[in-house]
Structure 1
Amino acid sequence: MYRLLRTLFFLFPAERAHHLGFSLLRFAMAFPIVGHLLRAFYRVNEPYLQVNAFGLRFSNPVGLAAGFDKDAIGYNALGGLGFGAVEVGTLTAHPQTGNPQPRMFRLPQDRALINRMGFNNSGSKDAIPRLMTKRNVILGVNIGKSKITPKEDAAKDYATSTRRVGPYADYLVVNVSSPNTPGLRDLQAVDELEAIITAVQNASAEVCEIPPPLLVKIAPDLNDEDIDAIADLALKLKLAGIIATNTTISRTGLKTYKSEIEGIGAGGLSGAPLKERALKVLRRLHQRVGTQMVIIAAGGIETAEDAWTRICAGATLVQVYTGFVYGGPALPKQIAKGLASRLKAEGLDSIEQVIGRDA
């Protein structure tokens, strides 16, 4: 069924198709009977897959990465598809329209996307009423720096968003790794990052009786020394975890014609081509932090085998995005079922038993 729908959606520009598909899902879930049937169909009921991470109990380890629901307008509808968690955003302190369109492109031969969205969102203040809504899924909130905010005021910018959304987040993510906001990745430098994280932690403590677990999301293009430095900083500041990884600026090994890639221009690449590099970053992080914090794996996860490999390499949880675009609404359930089957085949009774097994 989804193959037919995907063919139809792919007749539209990528961003337009995203809005159409997301609107259709929210519309369908809004009808009680239809919503109930869809939730029942996609529900993941596998006790083997329950995961305890930074004080939260996830029904399964498969989450939706930030970027799909930028303004927190449909996380409950997405949660009805069987995700163990949905991460909304990226939200910024100031509303912003993002980069000019077109700014999202499909690479079907590579099962990939290139985007240069630029953190388009209605702002963290505008999202508050929607974040207050009763939820049926663990909710992560991803925050980033506003484009108009100078680098020297970045910590204040992140702190502003934290004060607004922190009280409503099950976990909070500091995004310093998108390639689509000028200078943002420079904030991954340890001195810059420490100031931002400290400001976020202080702001969270001001407004939350119990501050939400705090994670940082990093780029796949960091060298080993920078990965180690961020891991050490995360341990020093007692972060709950690290998300590895965001999109890449690399275009190495793509099957899509070079002329088409050059025509698309700048942007972050996600999907299958990111798989190998994201796994290497995950392994490096796990070697550095061990079991002292949670690692959420993202980047090129399309199948249960991909998810299994990441979990065995040290990830406690995984996230999908591009795989969800290509694989459709059944993907989270397919991955979860595949993980459960693998556990049963090996005579294991919990996915937590294989975290870091092959690291």
Structure 2
Amino acid sequence: MNALKSAALRAGLGIAVVEVTTHLPSEGRSSETYHYLFDSFITPAARKILSPEYAHNVALEVTRLNLAPRLSRDGSSSHGVNMAVTLSGSNTRRLEFDGPIGLAAGFDKNGTAIAGLFDVGFSFVEIGSVTPLPQPGNLKPRSFRLLEDSGVINRFGFNSEGVEKVRSYLREYRQLFGGMGSESIRADSELTEEIEEAVADQEHQDETAGDADNQFAQRMASKFAGYTSDALVWAWNKAMVSKPLSGTLGVNLGKNKTPNISEAVRSLQQKDPLQNLLEATIKARDDFAPHAHLFVKIAPDLSKDEMKDVAAVVLETGIDGMIVCNTTNSRPESLLSQNKVESGGLSGAPLKDISTQCIRQMYKLTNGQVPIIGVGGVGSGRDAYEKLKAGASLVQIYSMMVYEGPGVVSRIRHELATLLAENGYKNVDDVVGADNEEIYWKRREERVRRRMQEATPNEKQIIEM
């Protein structure tokens, strides 16, 4: 940790010198010069010299210290397109975002750099995975770059500072930058106490049985597959925060990189186990954090029947949205990197087409009634545009942060705004699901009708035009 801080401080000192020498009164870290130096020299050097995980940790620390490039002038330019996004499915309570691009889980596992990540240009940040107690995860190395394929393979194994520490980071963020009120913080505390009691009970049983770590994982996997209340220790393993803080939680059904729980988690994507789990999770949400939104995250490796089951259960239970999709255990034949033989979840460019097709299918199966956050291989504005057309309302990026650094957010946002303007779209919402014309036009009419109901007389004239 000291070595990491030292490296981050040295990087920060160099960046600070760059900022001072290139600072423009109106731009500073948003300037083209600052972005160019960071994206063309600092990030490539870190990628070449440092191991993937160490470079990741240095980047996170630099972001936490607010030394990463801010959203650039080009990135903030919308070409007259309204980049704000409103999620409002048939069951979803209204959620508003100032843009469609967010950070996927895995970059900031513990929620230590949320403010810095918003500064970079993300409109929402997903943190996690978060485990009940602190744990180191798998042995290193556990993260691998596939340079020839612009991909990443990881098998971190749920390394986390634990739910209590993460909760303290979130509370600190709320106090400094606003967000959820004291009522929601109390609800978080109550949920944490329930989780800690379940974990303590399991640890006591495991210590008497021997082989505590393995027994604990197996017991929790068993309870998770059995969808008892203790299953929520694993089900509530993510937290997403948006600007302003929304308190959205994700039930992750795609984490299949840890052998002890992979089969149990896989079984949860079948209809009856999934329905039981989501109903239990919704009940816990209603009891402990009624204002939180629930999203379910699925794997890309589902069969057609499994996808139909997931869609049916999501519609029936009233889950607020879906995240499509997680990493894949499959290895496309097109992979060139020698690191393709490493075990773990594959993300990045090789996942792009698989993810987009999965989004398209889930949008059709849910009849466009469930908001979708698309993730997997987003490396350009066109990639984001294709996922929006397939049915995603928002997109997330992660792997391209590994290859290009934080400046990638400004580039993708600028490219997306340009594409939307060139194709005649005035709002991001208007492109969502365009690949499925029947559902698209029905949903578009509903949006226009809703806007007319909420609009002022002057706004109504603009909408009618």
Shift of 1:148: 5.4
AA at the equivalent of 2:430: Q
Unmatched 5+ stretches in structure 2: 1-36, 181-187, 189-198, 200-215, 437-465
Partners in 1 of 2:355 and 2:240 — Cα distance? 28
Shift of 1:344: 2.0
Stretch of structure 1 that moved more, 4-13 or 102-111: 4-13
2:269 to 171, 188, 205: 188
Partner residue, 1:13: 51
Q: Say whether residues 1:274 and 2:351 are aligned partners.
A: yes
AA at the equivalent of 1:334: R
2:143 to 82, 104, 109: 104
Partner residue, 2:304: 224
Equivalent residues of 1:65, 1:86 under 8 A apart? yes
Change (3 A) 1:131 1:275: same
1:314 to 361, 381, 391: 391
Cα deviations by residue, 1:237-288 (Å, 9 ceiling, x for unpaired): 1111111110011111344245x433x3x10000111111111111110110
Partners in 2 of 1:276 and 1:348 — Cα distance? 23
2:282 to 198, 201, 210: 201
Change (3 A) 1:174 1:322: same
Partner residue, 1:86: 125
Cα deviations by residue, 1:188-245 (Å, 9 ceiling, x for unpaired): 222322222222211111122x431111111111111111110111001111111111
Equivalent residues of 1:176, 1:218 under 8 A apart? yes
Partner residue, 1:215: 295
Report the 3-state secondary structure (helix = DSSP H, G, I; strand = E; otherwise coil) of the residue aligned with 1:276: helix
2:83 to 21, 40, 49: 49
Shift of 1:122: 1.5
Equivalent residues of 1:84, 1:137 under 8 A apart? no
2:112 to 73, 76, 99: 73
Equivalent residues of 2:373, 2:395 under 8 A apart? yes
Report the 3-state secondary structure (helix = DSSP H, G, I; strand = E; otherwise coil) of the residue aligned with 1:197: helix
Shift of 1:70: 0.5
Report the 3-state secondary structure (helix = DSSP H, G, I; strand = E; otherwise coil) of the residue aligned with 2:120: coil
Partners in 2 of 1:138 and 1:277 — Cα distance? 35
Equivalent residues of 2:127, 2:240 under 8 A apart? no
Equivalent residues of 2:320, 2:371 under 8 A apart? yes
1:1-359 aligned within 5 A: 1=37, 2-10=39-47, 11-27=49-65, 29=66, 38=70, 44=76, 46=78, 48-53=82-87, 54=92, 55-132=94-171, 133-134=173-174, 147=217, 149-154=219-224, 155=227, 156-160=229-233, 162=236, 170-182=247-259, 183=262, 184-208=265-289, 210-258=290-338, 260-262=339-341, 264=342, 266-359=343-436
Change (3 A) 1:340 1:230: same
Partners in 1 of 2:312 and 2:151 — Cα distance? 32
AA at the equivalent of 1:48: N
Equivalent residues of 1:49, 1:351 under 8 A apart? yes
Report % sequence identity. Answer: 31
Equivalent residues of 2:357, 2:390 under 8 A apart? no
Partners in 2 of 1:334 and 1:289 — Cα distance? 32
AA at the equivalent of 1:73: T
Larger radius of gyration: 2
Partners in 2 of 1:165 and 1:84 — Cα distance? 15
Equivalent residues of 2:323, 2:375 under 8 A apart? yes
AA at the equivalent of 1:294: P
Report the 3-state secondary structure (helix = DSSP H, G, I; strand = E; otherwise coil) of the residue aligned with 1:48: coil
Aligned pair count?
346
Partners in 2 of 1:319 and 1:157 — Cα distance? 30
Query: Where is the strand percentage greater, Structure 1 or Structure 2?
Result: 1
Aligned-residue CA RMSD (Å): 2.9
Report the 3-state secondary structure (helix = DSSP H, G, I; strand = E; otherwise coil) of the residue aligned with 2:416: helix
Report the 3-state secondary structure (helix = DSSP H, G, I; strand = E; otherwise coil) of the residue aligned with 2:257: coil
Cα deviations by residue, 1:27-83 (Å, 9 ceiling, x for unpaired): 2x1xxxx68x83676973646110001412111111100111111111111111111
Report the 3-state secondary structure (helix = DSSP H, G, I; strand = E; otherwise coil) of the residue aligned with 2:395: strand
Shift of 1:104: 0.2
Equivalent residues of 2:379, 2:397 under 8 A apart? yes
Equivalent residues of 2:152, 2:348 under 8 A apart? yes
TM-score, normalised with respect to structure 1: 0.88
Partners in 2 of 1:222 and 1:110 — Cα distance? 23
Shift of 1:339: 1.8
Change (3 A) 1:149 1:327: farther
Cα deviations by residue, 1:12-41 (Å, 9 ceiling, x for unpaired): 1111110011111212x1xxxx68x83676
Equivalent residues of 1:253, 1:273 under 8 A apart? no
Change (3 A) 1:118 1:95: same
Structure 1 segments of 4 or more deviating over 4 A? 39-43, 135-139, 160-169
AA at the equivalent of 2:40: R
AA at the equivalent of 2:76: V
Shift of 1:335: 1.6
